[in-house]
């Protein structure tokens, strides 16, 4: 039995040590906002925060997490960065199919945590790990800048 | 893609649903052809007149709900629910379609609640596709009249109900924002308060629609209704279905196309924690676990023996050689005007070239998945699908049960692009679930998703033209060689050997070409399954036609924009779009070394686009797309912001393919596995956009696919402008690297 601190709540989970956090969150806890996309940390759909840092949950074994705080898309709106990113995403109508957007938003929030006013290069670095097949990239870039401005 | 898909599926695969078959009979006669797909002339059964409660079979008759047709339910609180005849896969129809309804119903679109429709062709099929299908950029075009009419009919019932209550003339009552007003007496009644009276009234057959100048909703960038739940993880895609006691399955399919399963040694897998069961189906094995991870580990522990069949040595080159060989024989004639052969002989200059376009995977962000429970009371399916009735019908056929016993629950779709027009994943999941107690969620790994996709076919085109002394094309001959998706999907759509999708755009170029000859040779890529892919025929046809016209401009030593403009007089909306794109871009201005600028135009799906793209090619031969200028005439625009989003997204989708993507085959199996070797454009590679929407009062055109269809040639032409090298084979890949 491992204890995982997810969105401020401790969860006792009966799962093998090598089980990636993604499947614990989705299949055992039942939080389905975090998405499966590739399974090899190539697409970013599974991005969550571990102590505020973006992490790809599809390759993160739960044994590596310990008592660190896990935040998923369901709770990121409780942070100020999360709130402003979500608002900017809606104001600019970033989303199309939306499947990758949980991961995009988690990466964007982590970026603002690190660089409250990111330049284009910092946006590229933080967001290039998140694929969007609908091609919402121009709006993601614009929305991050708006959120940064409003968070100032 | 066009209506043909419907008849084909119905006649070929589906036997169980008499009402649908009756409906589909209407679809048998093609009445008109327009660019972007043939259009059928049939009435909308969902809107046929009659008693209100016949139109929506789940409705509780007269019980506090007003439901004059299959699309609307209004309860006594005045809450309006719209039952969505199309699926949302990002293209924005869960906003644009409610806008059509709200415009005539006179309600605030932001208050409309949405429900996925149950599978029912009779109620939710449309006149373009003839069944409940979302695809081919048809949603707005097909639902433009029916949904406005549905809203208007409902509004007229509410007005009549209020007038009867107040004993006043209907013409003195006005509907606004969910309320009927009687200005003269200052009285008003909310829609909810009128539900009981209105639901007892006979439903009018047809109600006059608004003059477009009075539109209040249509033409505005109304906020999307589906996105608030997409920023907080609450939106539910098929993969998020989580029925009680669900089990999880991961599959391995025969790596070689056409291979079969011989045997499985599951002794190690079954001893692993969390592994519940191993199930065999046709050419695949599934491991069932208490969660996806257990199933995945179990799969890795299986020892599977495959009969790899006859295709074990097949490689892409063999399939291309099949096409090349076939291209030497004449095909089925798709278009013959004048005499291209004799004009060619008399031409001042001639050019004959070949173009090739690769196999492509869809690589939707949401991998293929389907959750199924087969039990005593029938079958439940939880899946995001573009074809709910066909999926339901195939599940019924697979299980040998009546179609009514299959309950299909549709979901938001995490990327369709044509992949979810197929039911292979549903049928496979049903076969697995049949052997499992309780619900089971089958998720394909990304590797399965890419390697066992149904691919955009490889196409091989031969094209030649002759120019007169002034450089004008006096002869144009084009042979298209490749798989016919229609022949599988909708056989009756293929007439005299011509697949209308395969030759779309090619058989009807927008240019004045006095001597035109286009034929089609069908060659299937042996065991490789093929399917529609975003932009369908127009994506591949536009790449060839617009690359070739650019080559002719160069041969004639005429500016590529001017060359096109001179030939576009028969397509004035396209000519106008090109003039606007050219004026808004830096067309004609000199370029720095390493920079290139290319143009293409496209008319399909009822829309007209011109695109001008600026690129940089670095000394290593890598292409960076800097800027895309686009002028769009898609007729009357329902939601301008959605149109912009579809152009941006459609272009980026197309850019991934043109720059990077190809599925290659070696030893009978797909070589690519995941996003590491099937590269997708990322944020740092995306261009900036400058999109101009052209105001138009013409009928709305489709917009989900034109961006994808138009970008390929513009980019290839920009590469020529930058490097002098013609791209005649996609993807660009490393062709420019020294």
Tokens standing for residue B102: 């709200």
Is B661 in a helix, a strand, or coil? Answer: coil
B322, B525 contact by CB (below 8 A):
yes
**A144 close to B (CB below 8 A):** no
Cross-chain residue pair A90–B684, CB shorter than 8 Å: no
- Which one of B227, B232, B365 has the shortest CB-CB distance to A93? B227
- Distance from the A142 Cα atom to the nearest Cα atom in chain B, whole angstroms: 11
DSSP label at A26?
A: I
Contacts for B326 with CB less than 8 Å, ≥ 6 apart: B481, B521, B523
- Distance from the B415 Cα atom to the nearest Cα atom in chain A, whole angstroms: 6
How does strand B595-604 pair with strand A69-71?
unpaired
For chain B, the farthest-separated pair of C-alpha atoms sits apart, in whole angstroms, at 84
pLDDT for res A152: 59
Residue pLDDT, tens place only, B191-224: 999 999 999 999 999 899 999 999 999 999 999 9
- Which one of A93, A100, A141 has the shortest CB-CB distance to B645? A93
Mean pLDDT of chain B, nearest integer: 92
d(CA B134, CA A141): 30
Distance (Å) of CA B519 to CA B1, B37, B333, B636: 18, 18, 4, 34
Residue pLDDT, tens place only, B6-63: 333 333 333 333 333 222 222 322 222 233 333 322 223 333 333 443 333 344 444 6
DSSP per residue, B444-477 = --HHHHHHTS-BBPPEEEEEEEEE-TTS-EEEEE
Is the bond preceding B731 in cis, omega lying within 30 degrees of 0? yes
pLDDT for res B282: 87
Distance (Å) of CA B659 to CA A49, B544, B738: 33, 16, 17
Residue pLDDT, tens place only, B479-499: 999 999 999 999 999 999 999
B378, β-bridge pairs: B375
b/e string for A67-100 if b means 16 or more Cβ within 10 A? eeebbbbbbbbebebbbbbbbbbbebbbbbbbbb
B1, B532 contact by CB (below 8 A):
yes
As for the ipTM of the complex, it is 0.98
* Range 53-72 of A in CB contact (< 8 A) with B: 72
- Identify the band that residue A1 occupies on the pLDDT scale cut at 50, 70 and 90: confident
Residue pLDDT, tens place only, B526-549: 999 999 999 999 999 999 999 999
List the alpha helices (DSSP H) in B77-220.
93-105, 121-124, 139-166, 191-199
Is B570 in a helix, a strand, or coil? Answer: coil
Contacts for B516 with CB less than 8 Å, ≥ 6 apart: B335, B336, B337, B338, B340, B476, B477, B509
d(CA B449, CA B362): 9
Partners of residue A98 in chain B, C-beta under 8 Å: 90, 226-227, 230, 235, 412, 414
- Which one of A72, A90, A135 has the shortest CB-CB distance to B227? A90
B518, B481 contact by CB (below 8 A):
no
pLDDT for res B25: 27
Counting DSSP H helices and E strands in chain A, the numbers are 5, 5
Cross-chain residue pair B366–A16, CB shorter than 8 Å: no
Neighbours of A140 (CB within 10 A): 28
**A49 close to B (CB below 8 A):** no
| Burial class (CB within 10 angstroms; exposed 0-12, middle 13-18, buried 19+) of B156 | buried
Cross-chain residue pair A141–B291, CB shorter than 8 Å: no
Residue pLDDT, tens place only, B124-168: 998 888 899 999 999 999 999 999 999 999 999 999 999 999 999
Cross-chain residue pair A128–B682, CB shorter than 8 Å: yes
pLDDT at B512 over 60: yes
| Burial class (CB within 10 angstroms; exposed 0-12, middle 13-18, buried 19+) of A134 | buried
Q: Which residue of A has its CA nearest to B368?
A: A37
d(CA B228, CA B126): 29
pLDDT at B558 over 70: yes
Contacts for B58 with CB less than 8 Å, ≥ 6 apart: B118
Residue pLDDT, tens place only, B337-370: 999 999 999 999 999 999 999 999 999 999 999 9
Cross-chain residue pair A135–B652, CB shorter than 8 Å: yes
DSSP per residue, B269-313 = HHTSTTEEEEEEETTEEEEEESSHHHHHHHHHT-EEEEE-GGGTT
d(CA B378, CA B398): 12
d(CA B246, CA A28): 11
- Which one of A43, A90, A97 has the shortest CB-CB distance to B90? A97
Positive or negative, the Cα torsion across B670, A127, A93, A86?
Answer: positive
Of B5, B12, B124, give the one whose Cα is nearest residue B394: B12
B143, B126 contact by CB (below 8 A):
yes
Preferred mutation among B94, B231, B238, B628 to probe A, highest tally of A CBs within 10 A: B231
Contacts for B292 with CB less than 8 Å, ≥ 6 apart: A23, A26, A27, A36, B248, B250, B441, B443
Cross-chain residue pair A97–B231, CB shorter than 8 Å: no
d(CA B660, CA B677): 10
- Identify the band that residue A31 occupies on the pLDDT scale cut at 50, 70 and 90: very high
Cross-chain residue pair B674–A40, CB shorter than 8 Å: yes
- Which one of B91, B228, B239 has the shortest CB-CB distance to A90? B228
Partners of residue B234 in chain A, C-beta under 8 Å: 33, 74
Cross-chain residue pair A39–B645, CB shorter than 8 Å: no
Residue pLDDT, tens place only, B581-594: 999 999 999 999 99
Tokens standing for residue B400: 């040998």
Neighbours of B28 (CB within 10 A): 15
Partners of residue B675 in chain A, C-beta under 8 Å: 37-38, 40, 42-43, 131
Contacts for B598 with CB less than 8 Å, ≥ 6 apart: B550, B560, B612, B613, B615, B713, B714, B715, B716, B717, B718, B719, B720, B721
Is A47 in a helix, a strand, or coil? Answer: strand
């Amino acid at each position: 039995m491992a204890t995982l601190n997810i969105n401020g709540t401790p969860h006792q989970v009966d799962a093998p040590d090598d089980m990636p956090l993604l499947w614990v969150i989705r299949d055992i806890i039942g939080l389905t906002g975090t998405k499966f996309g590739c399974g090899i940390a190539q697409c970013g759909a599974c991005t969550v925060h571990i102590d505020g840092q973006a992490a790809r949950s599809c390759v993160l074994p739960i044994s590596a997490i310990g008592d660190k705080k896990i935040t998923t898309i369901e709770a990121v709106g409780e942070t100020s960065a999360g709130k402003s990113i979500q608002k900017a995403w809606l104001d600019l109508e970033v989303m199309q199919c939306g499947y990758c957007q949980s991961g995009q938003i988690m990466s964007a929030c982590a970026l603002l945590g690190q660089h409250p006013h990111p330049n284009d290069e910092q946006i590229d670095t933080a967001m290039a790990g998140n694929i969007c097949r609908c091609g919402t990239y121009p709006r993601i870039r614009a929305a991050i800048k708006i959120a940064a401005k409003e968070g100032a | 893609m066009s209506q043909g898909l419907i008849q084909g599926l119905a006649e070929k695969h589906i036997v169980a649903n008499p009402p649908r078959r009756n409906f589909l009979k209407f679809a048998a006669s093609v009445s008109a052809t327009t660019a972007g797909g043939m259009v059928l002339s049939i009435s909308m059964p969902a809107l046929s007149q009659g008693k209100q409660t016949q139109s929506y079979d789940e409705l509780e008759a007269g019980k506090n709900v007003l439901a004059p047709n299959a699309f609307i339910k209004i309860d006594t609180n005045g809450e309006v629910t719209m039952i969505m005849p199309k699926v949302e896969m990002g293209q924005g129809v869960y906003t644009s379609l409610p806008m059509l309804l709200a415009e005539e119903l006179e309600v605030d679109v932001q208050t409309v609640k949405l429900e996925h429709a149950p599978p029912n062709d009779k109620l939710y099929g449309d006149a373009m596709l003839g069944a409940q299908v979302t695809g081919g950029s048809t949603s707005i075009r097909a639902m433009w009249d029916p949904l406005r009419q549905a809203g208007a009919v409902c509004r007229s019932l509410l007005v009549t109900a209020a007038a009867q209550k107040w004993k006043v003339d209907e013409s003195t009552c006005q509907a606004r924002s969910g309320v009927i007003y009687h200005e003269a007496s200052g009285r008003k009644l909310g829609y909810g308060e009128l539900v009981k009276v209105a639901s007892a009234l006979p439903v009018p057959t047809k109600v006059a629609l608004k003059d477009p100048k009075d539109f209040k909703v249509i033409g505005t960038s109304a906020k999307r209704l589906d996105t608030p739940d997409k920023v907080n993880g609450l939106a539910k895609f098929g993969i998020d279905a989580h029925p009680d006691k669900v089990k999880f399955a991961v599959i391995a399919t025969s790596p070689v196309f056409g291979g079969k399963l011989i045997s499985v040694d599951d002794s190690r897998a079954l001893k692993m924690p969390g592994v519940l069961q191993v199930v065999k189906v046709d050419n695949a094995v599934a491991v069932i676990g208490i969660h996806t991870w257990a199933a995945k580990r179990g799969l890795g522990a299986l020892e599977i023996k495959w009969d790899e069949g006859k295709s074990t040595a097949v490689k892409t080159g063999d399939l291309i050689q099949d096409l090349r060989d076939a291209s030497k024989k004449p095909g089925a004639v798709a278009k013959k005007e004048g005499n291209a052969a004799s004009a060619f002989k008399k031409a001042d200059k001639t050019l004959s070239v070949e173009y090739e376009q690769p196999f492509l995977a869809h690589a939707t962000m949401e991998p293929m998945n389907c959750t199924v429970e087969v039990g005593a009371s029938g079958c439940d399916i939880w899946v995001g699908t573009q074809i709910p009735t066909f999926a339901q019908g195939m599940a019924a056929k697979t299980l040998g049960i009546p179609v009514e016993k299959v309950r299909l629950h549709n979901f938001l779709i995490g990327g369709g692009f044509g992949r979810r027009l197929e039911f292979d994943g549903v049928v496979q999941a049903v076969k697995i679930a049949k052997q499992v107690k309780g619900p089971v969620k089958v998720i394909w790994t990304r590797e399965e998703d890419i390697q066992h996709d149904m691919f955009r076919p490889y196409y091989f085109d031969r094209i030649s033209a002759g120019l007169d002394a002034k450089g004008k094309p006096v002869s144009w001959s084009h042979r298209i060689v490749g798989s016919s998706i229609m022949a599988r999907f909708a056989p009756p759509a293929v007439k005299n050997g011509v697949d209308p999708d395969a030759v779309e755009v090619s058989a009807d170029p927008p240019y004045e070409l006095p001597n035109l000859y286009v034929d089609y040779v069908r060659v299937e890529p042996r065991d490789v399954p093929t399917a529609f892919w975003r932009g369908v025929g127009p994506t591949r046809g536009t790449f060839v036609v617009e690359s070739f016209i650019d080559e002719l401009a160069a041969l004639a030593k005429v500016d590529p924009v001017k060359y096109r403009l001179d030939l576009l007089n028969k397509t004035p909306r396209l000519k106008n779009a090109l003039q606007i794109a050219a004026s808004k871009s830096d067309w004609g201005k000199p370029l720095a070394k390493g920079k290139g600028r290319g143009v293409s135009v496209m008319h399909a799906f009822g829309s007209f686009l011109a695109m001008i793209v600026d690129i940089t090619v670095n000394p290593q031969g890598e292409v960076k797309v800097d800027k895309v200028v686009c002028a769009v005439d898609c007729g009357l625009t329902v939601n301008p912001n959605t149109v912009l989003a579809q152009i941006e997204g459609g272009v980026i989708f197309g850019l991934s393919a043109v720059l990077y993507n190809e599925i290659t085959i070696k030893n009978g199996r797909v070589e690519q596995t995941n996003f590491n070797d099937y590269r997708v454009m990322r944020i740092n590679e995306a261009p900036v956009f400058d999109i101009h929407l052209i105001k138009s009062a013409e009928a709305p055109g489709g917009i989900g696919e034109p961006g994808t269809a138009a970008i390929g040639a513009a980019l290839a032409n920009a590469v020529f402008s930058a490097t002098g090298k013609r791209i005649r084979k996609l993807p660009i890949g490393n062709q420019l690297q020294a």
